[in-house]
Chains A and B, each alone.
Chain A
Amino acid sequence: MAADIKQLEIYATRIRIGSLEAIKARGFGHVGGSLSVADTLAVLYGAVMRIDPKNPRLSQRDKMVCSKGHAGPAVYATLALKGFFPYEDIKTLNQPGTSFPSHCDRLKTPGVDMTTGSLGQGTSLAAGMALGDKLKGRDSRMYLIVGDGELNEGQPWEAFMFMSAQKLDNLTVFIDWNKKQLDGYITDISDPHDFKKKFEAFGFHTQQVNGNSVKEIYEAVMAADKVRGMPRAIVLDTIKGAGVKEVEDTFSNHSMAAAPEVFDGWIEGLKEKLAALEGEVVHA
């Protein structure tokens, strides 16, 4: 399947808009990490994953575990745009009784494949799900997204060894290397050194791409999916807050609070970009 790159760029832009509209409705939320991962979600849900929004629990489906569970707003926007639930619903983010909590919850949100939030735990869960699918003979692929700050935890490295030992070649892990964690730069807090070398050393087929380029991500996923006998890793070189200049330029952009008009300004900029992308499609 050849992907329509322009459509994926449009999808990614809409995911960014949706993330910000959801967060704006509450007034605060995990802006930076939602924006950095939008392009990967667009590629997965726009061109890669075999899923049916009408049957979100179909056992023989591809699955995505967002272990950096705080990117919930981006996941919800992605799923809403795919038709899992009405788009307006995501604006109930973190309201009492909502189906859209800060961190992904498989019991609350249709299309969310696993509950995450306590950093690191999504890795072992994804490993168990991928292994389970293999043992059940399902043709299902697992896409696992982890944060770079999240990899301060020990559990993911236990899980990565396990994925490798079990030769989970139905699993691809994306490392959202956006360089920052809550308190600051990852290199200042607990330097992870070279992710690519680490994953290679852990027995993964490893690629590193511009993680804010849907084209590069798509090509990497296509290459990864052909690999047999070992799990696959794609290091996403991203910018925390990608797509919104003001957020990118804000040092502390993990969780942000802003006035509605500030969010509106960010959304406006993205809508202009969207219009331009759609114009290019029309005139192509």
Chain B
Amino acid sequence: MPKIVYDGSNDPRAFKDVIGGTIISLLDSDPDVIYVDADLMSTIGTYKYHQAHPDRAINVGVSEANMMGVAGGLAAAGFKPIAHTFGPFASRRSYDQAFLSAGYAQNDITVIGTDPGVCAAFNGGTHMPFEDVALYRAIPTATIFDITDTVMLEDILRQAVNLPGVKYIRVGRKTAAKVYGIGSRFEVGQAVKLREGKDITIVAAGIMVHEALQAAETLTKEGIEADVLDMFTIKPLDEAALLKSARKTGAVLAAENHNKIGGLYAAVCEALSRELPTPASFVAVNDEYGEVGPQNYLQERFGLTADNIVTRARELVKNKK
């Protein structure tokens, strides 16, 4: 069970250190794990390891499509490959390869796409994937994680390398809010209930979990009690947890660092409309391209804030029948 230690403070560890550290630890402990990167090793602190172990950490150069295929081929040869690049290149740039060379051909690989959505910050619109989850959701049986903090990342990455199929992990490189206690264990496909409430369900993932928890604090002062779910596994979606909560609250708000099309909000609505039609809304990018700037500016710019969650939640609750 995950231990919740959220108090609004920052995670003492930066994601990039834990991404690199966990990859290296997996390489050192499991000879079947192998790691490929497309010239972005230095961004997660693995380049030195590559220099010492070029056969364990392989740099394919700036060739993401090739990287996916090489990873697929390594899987066919009996390895458990981890492939890393920035989110847009791990998804749209190399999508046909992830789909066919890995997915369709059943060459099981773990893909890490760093700097999802607004986390791309100063790299700007070209590097800002608001569609990576939509793309990976359309790969049959793919498993998708939007990571909340470094404790979760460490546990999920360790589990992901041993899961079948295509696994996509989207995670920032900077520091996020600390939510889980060291040593927490997560069940793939099982949302974590972070807060208990009766008036509205807030389903969040990734950087939006912190925003959702902040929003829930504000809402409680207004007499609105929110159920907050960390839906870190976007696929397969924890429909049971979603429906259980929606049945209780009668209103659902999905918060994600992604386009409203094809991501968490879409997955939530698909499940609700089929199983339990419930008023729902989103705090997500409203079908726009990204742009450059500091992450906090971009969160304001695209409405990915606790304040916006509060506003949308109030509306949903007010309009409940």
- 25 CB < 8 A contacts A-B: A107-B106, A114-B76, A115-B105, A120-B65, A123-B69, A124-B67, A124-B70, A125-B70, A125-B76, A128-B70, A131-B74, A132-B34, A132-B78, A133-B77, A135-B34, A135-B55, A136-B77, A155-B63, A158-B61, A158-B63, A158-B65, A159-B70, A161-B63, A162-B60, A166-B58
B69, B97, B104, B107 — most chain A CB neighbours (10 Å): B69
The distance in angstroms between the C-alpha atoms of A105 and B69, with both chains bound, is 15
Q: With an 8 A cutoff between CB atoms, is B100 at the interface?
A: yes
Contact status of A159 and B100, CB under 8 A, knowing A124-B72, A135-B55: no
B56 CB to nearest A CB, Å: 9
Q: Is the CB of A136 within 8 A of B105?
A: no
- Determine whether the beta carbon of B100 is less than 8 Å from that of A131: no
Q: Interface 1/0s, chain A 235-259, versus B by CB < 8 A?
A: 0000000000000000000000000
Q: Contacts A107-B105, A118-B96 hold; do A162 and B76 have CB atoms under 8 A apart?
A: no
Q: Which residues of B contact A130 (CB under 8 A)?
A: 73
Query: How long is the Cα–Cα vector from A158 to B65 in the complex, in angstroms?
Result: 8
Interface residue B136 (Cβ < 8 Å from any Cβ of A): no
Within the assembled complex, what's the spacing in Å between the Cα atoms of A162 and B96? 19
Q: B91 interface residue, CB < 8 Å from A? A: no
Lowest 4 A-B CB distances belong to which pairs? A128-B73, A132-B77, A124-B69, A158-B63
Q: Beyond A106-B105, A127-B69, A131-B74, list 13 extra A-B contacts (CB 8 Å).
A: A115-B101, A124-B65, A124-B66, A124-B67, A124-B97, A128-B75, A129-B73, A129-B76, A129-B77, A136-B77, A155-B65, A159-B66, A165-B61
Contact digits for B92-127, partner A, Cβ 8 Å, 1 yes 0 no: 000011001100111100000000000000000000
Contact with B along A103-127 (1 / 0, CB 8 A): 0011100000111011011011111
**A59 in the interface, Cβ–Cβ < 8 Å?**
yes
Q: CA separation between A121 and B63, bound complex, in Å? A: 12
Which chain B residue lies CB-closest to A165?
B61
Q: Which residue of A is nearest B109, CB measured?
A: A128
Contact B73 A132 (CB under 8 A): yes
* Closest chain B CB from A76 CB (angstroms): 18
Closest to B102 in A: A125
Does the CB pair B69–A128 fall under 8 Å?
yes
Contact of A161 with B104 in the complex, beta carbons under 8 Å: no
A124 near B73: Cβ-Cβ < 8 Å: yes
Interface contact B96-A128, CB-CB below 8 Å: no
Which residues of the other chain, A, contact B60 by a CB distance below 8 angstroms?
158, 162
Q: How many residues of B are counted as interface, with CB atoms below 8 angstroms from the partner's CB atoms?
A: 30
State which of A117, A125, A165 has its C-beta within 8 Å of the C-beta of B72.
Answer: A125
| A interface residues (Cβ-Cβ under 8 A, vs B) | 59, 105-107, 113-115, 117-118, 120-121, 123-133, 135-136, 154-155, 158-159, 161-162, 165-166
Tell which of A130, A154, A159, A162 has the most Cβ of chain B within 10 Å: A162
Is residue B71 within 8 Å, beta carbon to beta carbon, of the partner chain? yes
Given A107-B106, A125-B76, A132-B79, verify A115-B100 contact (CB < 8 Å).
Answer: yes
Residues of chain B in range 190-246 having any CB-CB distance to chain A below 8 Å: none
A161 to B75, CA, bound (A): 20
* B68 CB-CB contact with A under 8 Å: yes
Q: Separation in Å of the B129 CB from the closest CB of chain A? A: 21
A161 touches B61 (CB 8 A): yes
Of A125, A128, A136, A165, most buried by chain B (CB within 10 Å of CB) is A128
Q: How far is the CA of A140 from the CA of B74 in the complex (A)?
A: 14
